[in-house]
Amino acid sequence: MALFLQILSYGVINGALYGLVALGLSLVFGVMNYLNVAHGALIMLASYAVFWACYYLKFDPFVSMILVAPTFFVIGWILFQGLFQRILRFEEGEKIKNSLLISFGILLIFSNAATMLWTADERAVTTDYTGKVIELLGVRIPYIGIASVVLAIIVIVAVHFFLTRTYFGKAIRAVSQDNEAAGWMGINTKMVCLVSFALGVALATFPGVVIALQTFNPIVSFDLTNKALIVLVLAGVGSLKGVLFGGLLLGAVEAVSVFLVGSAYREVVGLLLFVFVLMFRPQGLGGRKS
């Protein structure tokens, strides 16, 4: 029983991370049908940013978010205006294909540039509380893990609040459901897409912090993008709750599989889940049928 709870706790901790990883990707895809596969690279860059903020400025990693998040919002703004805004006018299928092309290029460039500039060495941020665990019902839970879960909850609740209680947040939902009709409401859909994209990139900060507290190198870009895509499929388009549950589901499934068949198959299980959901419930756990 204690073993089961132990596995479950790791599943939840990782699951919370996966939810955070997919959040930015899901938001951008939902609003404007851009599949930004560079999202993993952006999380990787955020991890580096957190790392330096801790190393050079001596910030606590969770405090560094205050600096990193707005910075990445600006980075997202620039990326959109510079690279992604021309394809906004395309129709849905073309937008997905073209955004995939552009972002894949960015993924390669960012991850290779990071390797060239900062080497492939593994980095990690260590704090006073790294490695400390708390014992609960016979289960050992790392402090970092608890912090990650709490962060995930706070971020998702904040995003939910933004999307359901503010005019602009509702405008974002309107644009993601019917772009043209949103324009007829007087909503500046171009501006909504720009801000949503920048927000999506800024959201890379939070998984970035969590990753920074584990270990990372430029190559995590690809792993993180994979995880994000799997969770996106699990969650379905346009569902915030789905992202959380999809992340938790992936985390749980991985944790159980590690227990049953060993950690060698951990990644495979996620991909099997991905295929399974696409085959039997393509709209995802929370998505609408589209």
* Binding interface with another protein (CB under 8 A): 167, 170-171, 173-174, 177-178, 180-189, 238, 288
* Shortest spacing between CB 218 and another protein, in angstroms: 38
What angle, rounded to 10 degrees, do the helices at 205-213 and 2-32 form? Answer: 150
* Shortest spacing between CB 183 and another protein, in angstroms: 4
**For another protein, the closer CB: 152 or 187:** 187
* Shortest spacing between CB 189 and another protein, in angstroms: 7
**For another protein, the closer CB: 140 or 288:** 288
Q: Contact, 58 vs 51, CB < 8 A?
A: no
Residue 25 neighbours by CB under 8 Å, 6+ apart? 35, 36, 39, 200, 228, 229, 232
* Shortest spacing between CB 90 and another protein, in angstroms: 14
**For another protein, the closer CB: 3 or 185:** 185
**For another protein, the closer CB: 182 or 235:** 182
Q: In whole angstroms, how far apart are CA 130 and each of 45, 98, 144, 213, 258?
A: 21, 42, 6, 8, 23
Residue 77 neighbours by CB under 8 Å, 6+ apart? 194, 197, 198
**For another protein, the closer CB: 190 or 281:** 190
* Shortest spacing between CB 259 and another protein, in angstroms: 38
**For another protein, the closer CB: 252 or 285:** 285
CA angle 256, 16, 123 (to 5 degrees): 95
* Shortest spacing between CB 103 and another protein, in angstroms: 26
Q: Contact, 125 vs 54, CB < 8 A?
A: yes
* Shortest spacing between CB 278 and another protein, in angstroms: 22
Q: For the chain, what's the residue count? A: 290
Q: Which residues of 213-235 are buried (b: 16+ CB within 10 A; e: fewer)?
A: beebbbebbbbbbbbbbbbbbbb
**For another protein, the closer CB: 236 or 246:** 236
Would you give the DSSP letter of residue 121?
Answer: -
* Burial of residue 28 (number of CB atoms within 10 Å: 0-12, 13-18, 19+): buried
